[in-house]
Protein backbone atom coordinates (compact mmCIF):
# COMPACT_ATOMS: atom_id res chain seq x y z
CA UNK A 1 0.00 0.00 0.00
CA UNK A 2 1.47 3.34 -1.07
CA UNK A 3 0.10 6.82 -1.71
CA UNK A 4 1.13 10.48 -1.77
CA UNK A 5 -1.28 13.24 -0.77
CA UNK A 6 -1.34 16.95 0.12
CA UNK A 7 -0.71 17.29 3.87
CA UNK A 8 -3.48 19.85 4.48
CA UNK A 9 -6.19 17.75 2.80
CA UNK A 10 -5.03 14.54 4.48
CA UNK A 11 -4.88 16.11 7.93
CA UNK A 12 -8.35 17.69 7.54
CA UNK A 13 -9.84 14.34 6.46
CA UNK A 14 -8.13 12.50 9.35
CA UNK A 15 -9.51 15.09 11.78
CA UNK A 16 -13.07 14.55 10.49
CA UNK A 17 -12.87 10.74 10.83
CA UNK A 18 -11.22 11.00 14.27
CA UNK A 19 -14.20 12.88 15.71
CA UNK A 20 -16.15 9.62 15.93
CA UNK A 21 -13.43 7.93 17.98
CA UNK A 22 -13.92 7.70 21.74
CA UNK A 23 -11.07 7.54 24.23
CA UNK A 24 -13.05 4.73 25.86
CA UNK A 25 -13.32 2.57 22.74
CA UNK A 26 -15.10 -0.75 23.36
CA UNK A 27 -12.72 -2.49 20.93
CA UNK A 28 -8.98 -1.80 20.46
CA UNK A 29 -9.48 -1.36 16.69
CA UNK A 30 -11.92 1.51 17.33
CA UNK A 31 -9.09 3.63 18.72
CA UNK A 32 -7.72 3.76 15.17
CA UNK A 33 -8.65 5.25 11.81
CA UNK A 34 -9.13 2.77 9.00
CA UNK A 35 -7.42 3.97 5.82
CA UNK A 36 -8.49 2.38 2.51
CA UNK A 37 -6.45 3.28 -0.58
CA UNK A 38 -8.71 2.51 -3.55
CA UNK A 39 -8.13 3.05 -7.25
CA UNK A 40 -9.22 6.69 -7.34
CA UNK A 41 -9.72 7.77 -3.72
CA UNK A 42 -8.76 7.42 -0.07
CA UNK A 43 -11.54 6.34 2.31
CA UNK A 44 -11.02 7.14 6.01
CA UNK A 45 -13.28 5.64 8.68
CA UNK A 46 -13.58 6.33 12.41
CA UNK A 47 -16.13 4.86 14.82
CA UNK A 48 -17.01 4.22 18.45
CA UNK A 49 -19.76 1.72 17.45
CA UNK A 50 -22.50 4.31 18.13
CA UNK A 51 -21.32 7.02 15.73
CA UNK A 52 -19.32 6.24 12.59
CA UNK A 53 -17.79 8.80 10.24
CA UNK A 54 -16.54 7.95 6.77
CA UNK A 55 -14.90 10.59 4.61
CA UNK A 56 -13.37 10.39 1.13
CA UNK A 57 -10.42 12.13 -0.47
CA UNK A 58 -10.83 11.96 -4.23
CA UNK A 59 -8.16 12.73 -6.81
CA UNK A 60 -8.13 16.45 -7.63
CA UNK A 61 -5.67 19.26 -8.36
CA UNK A 62 -6.07 20.53 -4.81
CA UNK A 63 -5.46 17.14 -3.19
CA UNK A 64 -2.47 15.94 -5.27
CA UNK A 65 -3.50 12.36 -4.50
CA UNK A 66 -1.40 9.67 -6.14
CA UNK A 67 -2.16 6.03 -5.29
CA UNK A 68 0.52 3.59 -6.41
CA UNK A 69 -0.54 0.49 -4.45
CA UNK A 70 -4.04 -0.12 -3.14
CA UNK A 71 -4.65 -1.59 0.32
CA UNK A 72 -6.01 -1.02 3.83
CA UNK A 73 -4.53 -0.42 7.28
CA UNK A 74 -5.72 0.77 10.70
CA UNK A 75 -3.54 3.35 12.49
CA UNK A 76 -3.99 4.63 16.06
CA UNK A 77 -5.78 7.97 15.61
CA UNK A 78 -3.83 10.03 18.13
CA UNK A 79 -0.49 8.97 16.62
CA UNK A 80 -1.27 9.55 12.96
CA UNK A 81 -2.88 12.93 13.65
CA UNK A 82 0.15 14.06 15.63
CA UNK A 83 2.62 12.78 13.03
CA UNK A 84 0.87 14.37 10.04
CA UNK A 85 0.37 17.65 11.92
CA UNK A 86 4.06 17.90 12.84
CA UNK A 87 5.58 16.96 9.50
CA UNK A 88 6.79 20.20 7.92
CA UNK A 89 5.95 19.43 4.30
CA UNK A 90 3.27 20.19 1.70
CA UNK A 91 3.03 16.54 0.73
CA UNK A 92 2.86 13.33 2.78
CA UNK A 93 4.06 9.91 1.64
CA UNK A 94 2.35 6.90 3.22
CA UNK A 95 3.61 3.36 2.76
CA UNK A 96 2.83 0.04 4.42
CA UNK A 97 6.12 -1.83 4.30
CA UNK A 98 5.70 -5.17 5.96
CA UNK A 99 2.28 -6.37 7.07
CA UNK A 100 1.45 -3.60 9.57
CA UNK A 101 4.66 -1.54 9.72
CA UNK A 102 3.84 1.84 8.22
CA UNK A 103 6.20 4.58 7.01
CA UNK A 104 4.88 8.16 7.02
CA UNK A 105 7.26 10.75 5.62
CA UNK A 106 7.55 14.29 4.30
CA UNK A 107 10.59 16.37 3.38
CA UNK A 108 13.44 15.06 5.57
CA UNK A 109 11.20 13.64 8.36
CA UNK A 110 10.30 9.96 8.49
CA UNK A 111 8.17 8.08 11.01
CA UNK A 112 7.59 4.36 11.32
CA UNK A 113 4.55 3.22 13.24
CA UNK A 114 2.88 -0.12 13.87
CA UNK A 115 -0.66 -0.37 12.56
CA UNK A 116 -3.36 -3.04 12.73
CA UNK A 117 -4.57 -5.25 9.92
CA UNK A 118 -7.76 -3.98 8.31
CA UNK A 119 -9.53 -7.30 8.91
CA UNK A 120 -9.30 -6.59 12.67
CA UNK A 121 -11.55 -3.54 12.17
CA UNK A 122 -15.25 -4.39 12.67
CA UNK A 123 -17.34 -4.26 9.50
CA UNK A 124 -19.55 -1.14 9.39
CA UNK A 125 -22.53 -1.09 7.04
CA UNK A 126 -22.61 2.32 5.33
CA UNK A 127 -25.40 1.33 2.90
CA UNK A 128 -27.89 4.18 2.52
CA UNK A 129 -31.35 3.76 4.13
CA UNK A 130 -34.35 4.17 1.82
CA UNK A 131 -36.12 7.14 3.45
CA UNK A 132 -34.15 10.15 2.12
CA UNK A 133 -34.64 13.90 2.17
CA UNK A 134 -32.49 17.00 1.81
CA UNK A 135 -32.30 20.35 3.55
CA UNK A 136 -29.94 23.28 3.69
CA UNK A 137 -27.03 22.75 6.06
CA UNK A 138 -27.87 25.96 7.95
CA UNK A 139 -31.43 24.73 8.64
CA UNK A 140 -30.14 21.44 10.07
CA UNK A 141 -27.63 23.34 12.20
CA UNK A 142 -30.44 25.49 13.61
CA UNK A 143 -32.65 22.44 14.28
CA UNK A 144 -29.89 20.83 16.33
CA UNK A 145 -28.83 23.97 18.21
CA UNK A 146 -32.43 24.96 19.00
CA UNK A 147 -33.43 21.54 20.39
CA UNK A 148 -30.54 19.32 21.55
CA UNK A 149 -29.72 21.41 24.66
CA UNK A 150 -33.09 20.31 26.14
CA UNK A 151 -32.25 16.59 26.03
CA UNK A 152 -31.65 14.71 29.26
CA UNK A 153 -28.15 13.81 30.44
CA UNK A 154 -29.49 10.99 32.62
CA UNK A 155 -29.55 7.42 31.32
CA UNK A 156 -32.57 6.43 33.45
CA UNK A 157 -34.79 7.15 30.41
CA UNK A 158 -32.46 6.66 27.44
CA UNK A 159 -35.02 7.86 24.87
CA UNK A 160 -34.89 11.36 26.43
CA UNK A 161 -31.13 11.64 25.74
CA UNK A 162 -31.90 12.15 22.03
CA UNK A 163 -33.84 14.43 19.70
CA UNK A 164 -36.99 12.95 18.21
CA UNK A 165 -37.46 13.47 14.46
CA UNK A 166 -41.04 12.68 13.43
CA UNK A 167 -42.16 13.21 9.85
CA UNK A 168 -45.78 13.04 8.72
CA UNK A 169 -46.03 13.92 5.05
CA UNK A 170 -43.92 17.03 4.41
CA UNK A 171 -43.98 18.29 8.02
CA UNK A 172 -40.93 17.44 10.14
CA UNK A 173 -41.24 17.93 13.92
CA UNK A 174 -38.01 17.86 15.93
CA UNK A 175 -38.52 17.59 19.71
CA UNK A 176 -36.25 17.32 22.74
CA UNK A 177 -37.25 17.15 26.41
CA UNK A 178 -35.73 16.17 29.75
CA UNK A 179 -39.25 16.19 31.31
CA UNK A 180 -38.67 19.62 32.94
CA UNK A 181 -38.44 21.60 29.69
CA UNK A 182 -39.13 21.00 26.02
CA UNK A 183 -37.82 22.38 22.72
CA UNK A 184 -39.66 21.88 19.43
CA UNK A 185 -38.73 22.95 15.91
CA UNK A 186 -41.11 22.43 12.97
CA UNK A 187 -40.08 22.71 9.32
CA UNK A 188 -41.48 21.74 5.94
CA UNK A 189 -39.43 19.44 3.71
CA UNK A 190 -39.76 18.87 -0.05
CA UNK A 191 -40.29 15.11 0.17
CA UNK A 192 -43.38 13.37 1.57
CA UNK A 193 -42.21 10.78 4.13
CA UNK A 194 -43.38 8.96 7.23
CA UNK A 195 -40.93 8.07 10.02
CA UNK A 196 -40.39 8.52 13.75
CA UNK A 197 -36.81 8.19 15.05
CA UNK A 198 -34.78 9.40 18.03
CA UNK A 199 -31.16 10.40 17.37
CA UNK A 200 -28.68 10.63 20.29
CA UNK A 201 -27.82 14.26 21.11
CA UNK A 202 -24.13 13.27 21.22
CA UNK A 203 -24.31 12.13 17.59
CA UNK A 204 -25.99 15.37 16.53
CA UNK A 205 -23.10 17.37 18.02
CA UNK A 206 -20.76 15.52 15.64
CA UNK A 207 -23.10 16.35 12.75
CA UNK A 208 -22.94 20.06 13.64
CA UNK A 209 -19.12 19.97 13.64
CA UNK A 210 -19.14 18.38 10.17
CA UNK A 211 -21.60 20.84 8.60
CA UNK A 212 -20.16 23.52 6.34
CA UNK A 213 -21.21 27.16 5.92
CA UNK A 214 -23.46 26.54 2.94
CA UNK A 215 -24.79 23.75 0.77
CA UNK A 216 -27.23 20.90 1.28
CA UNK A 217 -27.16 17.86 3.53
CA UNK A 218 -28.84 14.60 2.58
CA UNK A 219 -30.48 12.71 5.44
CA UNK A 220 -31.30 9.02 5.10
CA UNK A 221 -33.10 7.06 7.83
CA UNK A 222 -34.58 3.69 8.69
CA UNK A 223 -35.57 2.09 11.99
CA UNK A 224 -31.95 1.23 12.91
CA UNK A 225 -29.77 4.14 11.81
CA UNK A 226 -29.61 7.67 10.40
CA UNK A 227 -27.09 9.00 7.91
CA UNK A 228 -26.15 12.64 7.39
CA UNK A 229 -24.34 12.95 4.05
CA UNK A 230 -22.36 16.18 3.66
CA UNK A 231 -20.39 16.27 0.37
CA UNK A 232 -17.85 13.42 0.63
CA UNK A 233 -18.51 12.70 4.32
CA UNK A 234 -21.08 10.37 5.91
CA UNK A 235 -21.94 10.74 9.61
CA UNK A 236 -23.84 7.60 10.59
CA UNK A 237 -25.46 7.06 13.97
CA UNK A 238 -27.40 4.34 15.68
CA UNK A 239 -30.88 5.30 16.91
CA UNK A 240 -32.19 5.15 20.46
CA UNK A 241 -34.63 2.29 21.03
CA UNK A 242 -37.95 2.95 22.70
CA UNK A 243 -41.11 4.94 22.04
CA UNK A 244 -40.68 8.69 22.38
CA UNK A 245 -43.33 10.18 24.71
CA UNK A 246 -46.29 12.00 23.20
CA UNK A 247 -45.35 15.63 23.91
CA UNK A 248 -48.11 17.53 22.10
CA UNK A 249 -50.45 17.12 25.08
CA UNK A 250 -47.92 19.05 27.23
CA UNK A 251 -48.10 22.15 25.03
CA UNK A 252 -50.90 24.55 26.02
CA UNK A 253 -53.09 25.88 23.22
CA UNK A 254 -54.79 28.80 25.01
CA UNK A 255 -53.21 31.45 27.24
CA UNK A 256 -54.37 34.05 29.76
CA UNK A 257 -51.19 36.12 30.00
CA UNK A 258 -48.52 37.41 27.61
CA UNK A 259 -45.11 38.92 28.34
CA UNK A 260 -43.01 40.50 25.58
CA UNK A 261 -39.44 41.56 26.37
CA UNK A 262 -36.10 42.35 24.77
CA UNK A 263 -34.18 39.04 24.68
CA UNK A 264 -30.78 40.52 25.57
CA UNK A 265 -32.18 42.55 28.50
CA UNK A 266 -33.76 39.44 30.00
CA UNK A 267 -30.66 37.28 29.44
CA UNK A 268 -28.53 39.90 31.21
CA UNK A 269 -31.01 40.14 34.11
CA UNK A 270 -31.10 36.34 34.55
CA UNK A 271 -27.30 36.23 34.40
CA UNK A 272 -27.05 38.85 37.16
CA UNK A 273 -29.45 36.89 39.38
CA UNK A 274 -27.96 33.46 38.68
CA UNK A 275 -25.31 33.45 41.45
CA UNK A 276 -28.10 33.16 44.04
CA UNK A 277 -28.78 29.44 44.23
CA UNK A 278 -30.80 27.03 46.36
CA UNK A 279 -29.24 23.53 46.46
CA UNK A 280 -27.21 24.43 43.36
CA UNK A 281 -30.26 25.60 41.37
CA UNK A 282 -30.92 29.22 40.43
CA UNK A 283 -34.67 29.77 40.89
CA UNK A 284 -35.98 33.05 39.48
CA UNK A 285 -39.39 34.61 40.11
CA UNK A 286 -41.33 36.78 37.69
CA UNK A 287 -43.76 39.24 39.34
CA UNK A 288 -45.84 40.47 36.43
CA UNK A 289 -48.48 43.17 36.10
CA UNK A 290 -49.44 45.68 33.43
CA UNK A 291 -47.78 48.40 35.55
CA UNK A 292 -44.46 46.71 36.32
CA UNK A 293 -42.51 43.51 35.59
CA UNK A 294 -39.95 42.41 38.19
CA UNK A 295 -37.39 39.59 38.19
CA UNK A 296 -36.17 38.41 41.60
CA UNK A 297 -34.23 35.58 43.22
CA UNK A 298 -33.79 34.66 46.87
CA UNK A 299 -31.75 32.30 49.01
CA UNK A 300 -31.65 32.01 52.81
CA UNK A 301 -27.89 31.34 52.71
CA UNK A 302 -26.84 33.93 50.09
CA UNK A 303 -29.36 36.77 49.98
CA UNK A 304 -31.66 38.19 47.34
CA UNK A 305 -31.81 40.23 44.13
CA UNK A 306 -34.58 42.30 42.55
CA UNK A 307 -34.61 43.96 39.14
CA UNK A 308 -37.30 45.88 37.27
CA UNK A 309 -37.53 44.78 33.62
CA UNK A 310 -37.95 48.11 31.86
CA UNK A 311 -38.22 46.67 28.34
CA UNK A 312 -41.06 44.29 29.34
CA UNK A 313 -44.66 44.60 28.24
CA UNK A 314 -47.30 42.47 29.99
CA UNK A 315 -50.96 41.75 29.17
CA UNK A 316 -53.21 40.07 31.77
CA UNK A 317 -54.05 40.11 35.48
CA UNK A 318 -51.25 40.14 38.06
CA UNK A 319 -49.19 36.91 38.01
CA UNK A 320 -46.28 35.50 39.98
CA UNK A 321 -44.43 32.51 38.54
CA UNK A 322 -41.11 30.88 39.50
CA UNK A 323 -38.87 28.68 37.38
CA UNK A 324 -35.35 27.37 36.90
CA UNK A 325 -33.31 30.34 35.66
CA UNK A 326 -30.95 28.23 33.57
CA UNK A 327 -33.84 26.62 31.67
CA UNK A 328 -35.23 30.03 30.71
CA UNK A 329 -31.74 31.31 29.84
CA UNK A 330 -31.03 28.29 27.59
CA UNK A 331 -34.43 28.61 25.90
CA UNK A 332 -33.95 32.30 25.03
CA UNK A 333 -30.35 31.70 23.84
CA UNK A 334 -31.68 29.13 21.37
CA UNK A 335 -34.10 31.60 19.79
CA UNK A 336 -33.36 34.13 17.05
CA UNK A 337 -34.57 37.71 16.96
CA UNK A 338 -34.37 40.57 19.44
CA UNK A 339 -37.83 40.19 21.03
CA UNK A 340 -39.17 37.13 22.87
CA UNK A 341 -42.75 36.38 23.89
CA UNK A 342 -43.83 34.38 26.97
CA UNK A 343 -47.31 32.85 26.71
CA UNK A 344 -48.57 31.83 30.16
CA UNK A 345 -51.60 30.01 31.61
CA UNK A 346 -51.14 30.39 35.36
CA UNK A 347 -48.83 30.16 38.36
CA UNK A 348 -48.09 26.41 38.23
CA UNK A 349 -48.74 25.67 34.55
CA UNK A 350 -46.12 25.19 31.82
CA UNK A 351 -45.40 28.30 29.76
CA UNK A 352 -44.19 28.86 26.20
CA UNK A 353 -41.26 31.03 25.07
CA UNK A 354 -41.00 31.99 21.39
CA UNK A 355 -39.26 34.55 19.24
CA UNK A 356 -41.63 37.24 17.99
CA UNK A 357 -40.01 36.83 14.54
CA UNK A 358 -39.94 33.02 14.26
CA UNK A 359 -42.93 30.82 15.07
CA UNK A 360 -41.18 27.62 13.84
CA UNK A 361 -39.43 27.03 17.18
CA UNK A 362 -41.13 26.70 20.55
CA UNK A 363 -39.60 26.41 24.02
CA UNK A 364 -41.64 25.12 26.98
CA UNK A 365 -40.57 25.41 30.63
CA UNK A 366 -42.24 23.93 33.71
CA UNK A 367 -42.55 26.29 36.68
CA UNK A 368 -41.36 25.39 40.19
CA UNK A 369 -43.13 25.90 43.50
CA UNK A 370 -41.51 28.31 45.97
CA UNK A 371 -42.40 28.83 49.61
CA UNK A 372 -40.88 32.23 50.24
- Based on the fold, state whether residues 327 and 240 are members of the same structural domain: no
Q: With bands split at pLDDT 50, 70 and 90, how would you rate the model's confidence at 237?
A: very high
- Based on the fold, state whether residues 92 and 158 are members of the same structural domain: no
pLDDT in tens, 255-277: 999 999 999 999 999 999 988 88
pLDDT in tens, 102-121: 999 999 999 999 999 999 99
247: number of CA atoms within 13 Å, CB side? 26
- Based on the fold, state whether residues 303 and 237 are members of the same structural domain: no
Q: With bands split at pLDDT 50, 70 and 90, how would you rate the model's confidence at 99?
A: confident
pLDDT, position 279: 81
pLDDT in tens, 51-74: 999 999 998 888 999 999 999 999
- Based on the fold, state whether residues 50 and 137 are members of the same structural domain: no
pLDDT beyond 80 at 357: yes
* % the chain with pLDDT above 90: 88
Domain that holds residue 62: 2-120
Average pLDDT over residues 293-316: 92
Residue 340 sits in a domain whose CATH number is: 3.70.10.10
pLDDT, position 371: 58
pLDDT, position 318: 97
Q: With bands split at pLDDT 50, 70 and 90, how would you rate the model's confidence at 283?
A: very high
Given CA atoms 118, 124, 125, 131 in this order, what sign does their dihedral have?
A: negative
pLDDT, position 197: 97
What average pLDDT is seen over the chain?
94
* % the chain with pLDDT above 70: 99
- Based on the fold, state whether residues 269 and 236 are members of the same structural domain: no
pLDDT, position 294: 96
Residue 129's closest CA among 12, 9, 221, 7? 221
Do the domain assignments include residue 110?
yes
pLDDT, position 45: 98
- Based on the fold, state whether residues 240 and 335 are members of the same structural domain: no
Choose one of 245, 280, 303: the last residue of a domain: 245
Do the domain assignments include residue 326?
yes
- Based on the fold, state whether residues 215 and 183 are members of the same structural domain: yes
Do the domain assignments include residue 125?
no
Structurally, the chain folds into a number of domains equal to 3
Do the domain assignments include residue 126?
no
- Based on the fold, state whether residues 199 and 235 are members of the same structural domain: yes
Do the domain assignments include residue 217?
yes
- Based on the fold, state whether residues 21 and 38 are members of the same structural domain: yes
Choose one of 69, 95, 120: the last residue of a domain: 120
Number of other CB atoms surrounding residue 127 within 10 Å: 10
pLDDT in tens, 344-356: 999 999 999 999 9
pTM of the model: 0.92
pLDDT beyond 90 at 140: yes
Q: Decide the pairing of beta strands 109-114 and 101-106.
A: antiparallel
pLDDT beyond 90 at 27: no
- Based on the fold, state whether residues 187 and 237 are members of the same structural domain: yes
Alpha carbon distance 72, 2 (integer Å): 10
Do the domain assignments include residue 89?
yes
Do the domain assignments include residue 127?
no
Average pLDDT over residues 195-211: 96
Average pLDDT over residues 211-236: 95
pLDDT beyond 90 at 28: no
Choose one of 89, 120, 151: the last residue of a domain: 120
- Based on the fold, state whether residues 106 and 153 are members of the same structural domain: no
- Based on the fold, state whether residues 193 and 274 are members of the same structural domain: no
> What string of H, E and C letters represents the secondary structure of the chain?
CEEEEEHHHHHHHHHHHHCCCCCCCCCHHHHEEEEEECCCEEEEEEECCCEEEEEEEECCCCCCCEEEECEEEEEEHHHHHHHHHHCCCCEEEEEEEECCEEEEEECCEEEEEECECHHHCCCCCCCCCCEEEEEEHHHHHHHHHHHHHHCCCCCCCHHHHEEEEEEEEEEEEEEEECCCEEEEEEEEEEEEEEEEEEEEHHHHHHHHHHCCCCCEEEEEECCCEEEEEECCEEEEEECCCCCCCCCHHHCCCCCCEEEEEEHHHHHHHHHHHCCCCECCECEEEEEECCCCEEEEEEECCCEEEEEECCCCEEECCCEEEEEEHHHHHHHHHCCCCCEEEEEECCCCCCEEEEECCEEEEEEEECCECCCC
pLDDT, position 213: 81
Residue 89 sits in a domain whose CATH number is: 3.10.150.10
pLDDT beyond 80 at 90: yes
Do the domain assignments include residue 315?
yes
pLDDT, position 3: 96
Amino acid sequence: MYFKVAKKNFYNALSVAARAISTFSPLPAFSGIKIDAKEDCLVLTGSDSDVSIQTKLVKSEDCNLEIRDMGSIVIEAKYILEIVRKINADEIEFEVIDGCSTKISGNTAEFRINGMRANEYPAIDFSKPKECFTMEEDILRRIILQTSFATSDKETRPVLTGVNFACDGTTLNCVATDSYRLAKKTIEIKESLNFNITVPAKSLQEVVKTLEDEGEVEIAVNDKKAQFIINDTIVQTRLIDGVYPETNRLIPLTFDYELTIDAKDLLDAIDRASFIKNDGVSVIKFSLSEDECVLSSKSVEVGSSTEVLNSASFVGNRLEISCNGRYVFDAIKALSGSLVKFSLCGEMKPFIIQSVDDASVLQLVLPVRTYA
